[in-house]
Amino acid sequence: MKTNKKSTLFSFDGKPSLKDVAPLGLQHVVAMIVGCVTPALIVASVAQLNPSDKVLLVQASLFFSGIATLIQIFPIGGVIGSRLPIIMGVSFAYVPTLTAIAGEFNIATLFGSQIAGGLVAILFGIFLKKLSYLFPPIVTGTVILSIGLSLYPVAIKYIAGGAGSPDFGSPQNWIVAMITLGVVIYFNHFTKGTLKLASILIGMIVGYVISIFLGIVSFDAVREASLFQAPRFMHFGINFNTTAIVSMVIMYVVNSVQAIGDLSATTGGGMDRLPTDKELSHGIIGFGFTGIISAFFGCMPTATYSQNVGIVTITKVINKWIFIFASFIVILTGLIPKFASILTTIPQCVLGGATISVFAIITMTGIKMIAAGNLNKRNSAVVGLSVALGMGIVQVPNSLALFPSWFISIFGKSSVVVTTLVAILLNLLLPQDNAKDR
């Protein structure tokens, strides 16, 4: 009997008991919840949202991450969703583009561009076979590398206290951030199991407690928050801007490619097989569909969560009820403003200390993808020139000063956009190396 119960955990459609489902589901929640809410906190700061709107943004991130996961588990119409054990959540990969749009325009423009990006992701999923040649590992790895690199200034600004804060750059902020980072490093490299998976969460808790004793945490938002509140339809508005749409569309295509990798890793690591063309196509369609629907309720773009894919790969546990349980926990937390408001009180120095390790992992993931291929003269040019132009233009603010404003908005705000376009173009144009040139 015990063997049969255990075996259901390794079957997608098995029916395990709640006592088996609960701890494994909570493990997925612990692994994703910090990454899910932090992008919302970063964008809310850039958009200068008031405390109540900041809480709503965090609520929507949690609620629709759970919905997005359920759609992947239970495809709508058999087409919108992969029917694979995958966790979805608001993604750090979009942060450079989201902050650029929110900073230059407003949060309504962000959600308008998200709708356009979701539509393009659906088309990408439908025509997946014909478009996949544009994104070999050398291109995808280069883009992911640029995402990681572009996030470092975000982390450092947070470590220093957050841009515009009166104590920006103070020793106190740096000390709290470094203690937080030290705890993350310790639990990530010197522990195993749940403690290792929860290393970022534990680091943030330690940093948060220290911040309370130092008197840099305000609980005003928590006192004012209600006990129950659903995400609000069109609360932040919808606005369409061509330059913002172009930037977001590129990011949705990039994350569609990343979804292919995560879905493939899920089936390969958890099911010992490759994903079918339908699973990949329907998974990306579901990803795009969720992006459209969630934009109307104030949730930023979701994506497949690689850390949760890692859990599946390690444990081989693929039972759908575990992912359903995790989804309902995340949805429930998204309906409780008191919980969301507590998350908004986390000091920026604590967020910076915890997230810089995440950004480092993103960077190294890109480097690993690049190194896994043949890093010959041609591929080195694709990577080097793409990153050089992407990072270089953004790091020199007035480098495009005499170009039209629309051109600056698209190519001068996010290094990821430039890197992606240059990498695709060079990969198509540069001839393959001869054996003697390698």
What pLDDT is recorded for position 204? 84
- First and final CA of the chain: distance in angstroms? 58
CB contact set of 133 (below 8 Å; sequence gap of 6+)? none
Residue 15 resides in a domain: no
- How much of the chain exceeds pLDDT 70, in percent? 96
Mean pLDDT of the chain: 86
Helix or strand holding residue 303 (H, E): strand 302-304
Cα 298-299-302 angle, rounded to 5 deg: 160
- Using CA atoms, how far residue 31 sits from 7, 315, 408, in Å, is 24, 14, 37
- How much of the chain exceeds pLDDT 90, in percent? 33
What is the 8-class DSSP label of residue 90?
A: E
Res. 214: pLDDT tops 80: yes
Mean pLDDT of the region 66-73: 95
What pLDDT is recorded for position 252? 92
Residue 6 resides in a domain: no
Domain that holds residue 230: 23-432
Highest mean pLDDT, choosing among 83-92, 332-341, 412-421:
83-92
Residue 4 resides in a domain: no
Cβ atoms of 87 and 308 closer than 8 Å: yes
Q: How many CB atoms are located within 10 Å of the residue 261 CB?
A: 18
What pLDDT is recorded for position 1? 42
| Overall size of the chain counted in residues | 438
CB contact set of 52 (below 8 Å; sequence gap of 6+)? 221, 224, 225
Helix extents (H) in 272-347: 277-295, 306-315, 320-334, 337-344
Res. 196: pLDDT tops 80: no
Residue 264 resides in a domain: yes
Res. 2: pLDDT tops 70: no
Cβ atoms of 63 and 294 closer than 8 Å: no
d(CA 242, CA 410): 9
When divided into structural domains, the chain yields a total of 1
Give the residue with greater pLDDT, 150 vs 296.
296
Residue 437 resides in a domain: no
The sign of the torsion formed by the CA atoms of 243, 249, 251, 254 equals negative
